[in-house]
A and B are shown apart, each in its own frame.
Chain A
């Protein structure tokens, strides 16, 4: 073995904490002054390492340590505000949160689906044709009714139809002397629907603004002498 190999082995054995070297290494040191010197130097380094480590690791315990522990043991312990461990509290909180989230998700679609039927209940009853002395038939009658009850017309066309309820037919009060004329008018409605519409349409609102009246204009008058008066 070369001196380099011997020195490497010496270093490894000292680093491993071996106290004594094997015989062949000792024999080599007796013959080689350089390796013997190397061993002494390295052994001194590792001895100082052991001493230093021992000083660091076995520092004297501070005298206040154990009295401090005893004093803290003798301290009256404050009663716990909440008798559960913090992990138990965390578990409860997580369960509660999950329950709230589950309830919210479970009920949300149901609530949305309920909205349409709720609206569907708000339907107006279908209009009933007026019971008149003379029959009113055809589109005219519908138009007349629609103009009288615009809300009902809207509800009939837009919202789902609900079974009509039995309502008393509207009656028209007509004076005795006008009854005959009214009957004739009703009888003529199918033939002259425009007239009927014009009569049943409510009066246009008068907005009350002032009516502008143009100034009276008088054309220049040409005055002519009477015939035979200038003679």
Chain B
């Protein structure tokens, strides 16, 4: 005969557990989520920032914020969605401020100091597809690029992409379609 066990709500559980025991329990539970969501937070941040160091910093910040809100986020699906969304938002903020700073510096810099765009010959000589691909990806509009990279993250569904970007599912699909066509055009 199966025994029916009612799990107490997370808030009550943490309230009943006293002091260090409660903290240790929360920490253990958080560690489980950390192993699952850490890489995802990093990848989402990297899809926006395109930089490993910045993405790591943002992922850490998102996970720390998640720990502070852990009492409200014990449901695994909620936790994962929340971490991804906060990582995306933080990455977007940093990316925008970096872009503003870059624009200011470009405006103040002398024209001769600007790096010259790579020529077709240089690209051909490099013969590295990934480099060429990433350059083509950079040239895409931001909205298209975010959808493309987020949708390519392993284990990250289109529904989750739509929830992270706060757009309808149909918009995600149409952006994916046009972004892939644009990218193919650039790589052809």
**In the complex, what distance in Å separates the CA atom of A58 from the CA atom of B43?**
6
Question: Which of the four size classes fits the interface of chain A?
Answer: 20 to 34
Interface residues of A in 1-30 (CB under 8 A from B): 11-12, 14-17
Q: Are B150 and A16 in contact (CB under 8 A)?
A: no
Report if A17-B43 is in contact (Cβ < 8 Å); known contacts: A53-B152, A73-B64: no
Q: Are A45 and B187 in contact (CB under 8 A)?
A: yes
**Residue B107, interface by CB 8 Å:** no
Q: Are B152 and A56 in contact (CB under 8 A)?
A: yes
Interface residues of A in 54-86 (CB under 8 A from B): 54-59, 61-62, 64-66, 68-70, 72-73
Q: Are B184 and A42 in contact (CB under 8 A)?
A: yes
Cβ 8 A contact of A59, one of B43, B67, B137: B43
Q: Are B42 and A16 in contact (CB under 8 A)?
A: no
**Residue A49, interface by CB 8 Å:** yes
Interface residues of B in 13-61 (CB under 8 A from A): 27, 34-35, 38-39, 42-43, 46-47, 50, 52, 56, 59-60
**Residue B153, interface by CB 8 Å:** yes
**In the complex, what distance in Å separates the CA atom of A32 from the CA atom of B2?**
66
**In the complex, what distance in Å separates the CA atom of A68 from the CA atom of B34?**
12
Nearest residue (CB) in A for B62 is: A69
**Residue B148, interface by CB 8 Å:** yes
Q: Are A53 and B149 in contact (CB under 8 A)?
A: yes
Q: Are A68 and B149 in contact (CB under 8 A)?
A: no
Q: Are A61 and B184 in contact (CB under 8 A)?
A: no
**Partner-contacting stretch, out of B74-82, B91-99, B114-122, B126-134:** B126-134
Q: Are A52 and B176 in contact (CB under 8 A)?
A: no
Q: In the complex, what residues of A have CB within 8 A of residue B34's CB?
A: 66, 69-70
**In the complex, what distance in Å separates the CA atom of A54 from the CA atom of B184?**
15
Q: Are B59 and A65 in contact (CB under 8 A)?
A: yes
Cβ 8 A contact of A17, one of B129, B154, B180: B180
**Residue A48, interface by CB 8 Å:** yes
**In the complex, what distance in Å separates the CA atom of A14 from the CA atom of B183?**
12
Q: Are A69 and B177 in contact (CB under 8 A)?
A: no
Report if A52-B133 is in contact (Cβ < 8 Å); known contacts: A65-B59, A68-B60, A72-B60: yes
Cβ 8 A contact of A48, one of B56, B133, B154: B133
Q: Are A46 and B180 in contact (CB under 8 A)?
A: yes
Report if A49-B187 is in contact (Cβ < 8 Å); known contacts: A15-B181, A69-B63: yes
**In the complex, what distance in Å separates the CA atom of A83 from the CA atom of B153?**
41
Q: Are B38 and A59 in contact (CB under 8 A)?
A: no
Q: In the complex, what residues of B have CB within 8 A of residue A66's CB?
A: 34-35, 38
Q: Are A59 and B52 in contact (CB under 8 A)?
A: yes
**In the complex, what distance in Å separates the CA atom of A2 from the CA atom of B184?**
23
In the complex, how many angstroms separate the beta carbon of A51 from the nearest chain B beta carbon?
9
Beyond A11-B184, A50-B152: 18 further Cβ-contacts under 8 Å? A14-B184, A15-B178, A48-B187, A49-B180, A52-B129, A52-B137, A57-B46, A57-B47, A57-B149, A59-B43, A59-B46, A61-B43, A65-B42, A65-B59, A66-B38, A69-B60, A69-B63, A70-B34
Binding site for B on A (CB under 8 A): 11-12, 14-17, 42, 45-46, 48-50, 52-59, 61-62, 64-66, 68-70, 72-73
Q: Could you name 18 residue pairs across A and B whose Cβ atoms are closer than 8 Å?
A: A49-B187, A52-B133, A52-B137, A53-B149, A54-B152, A56-B47, A56-B152, A57-B154, A58-B43, A58-B153, A59-B42, A59-B52, A61-B42, A66-B34, A68-B56, A69-B34, A69-B63, A73-B64
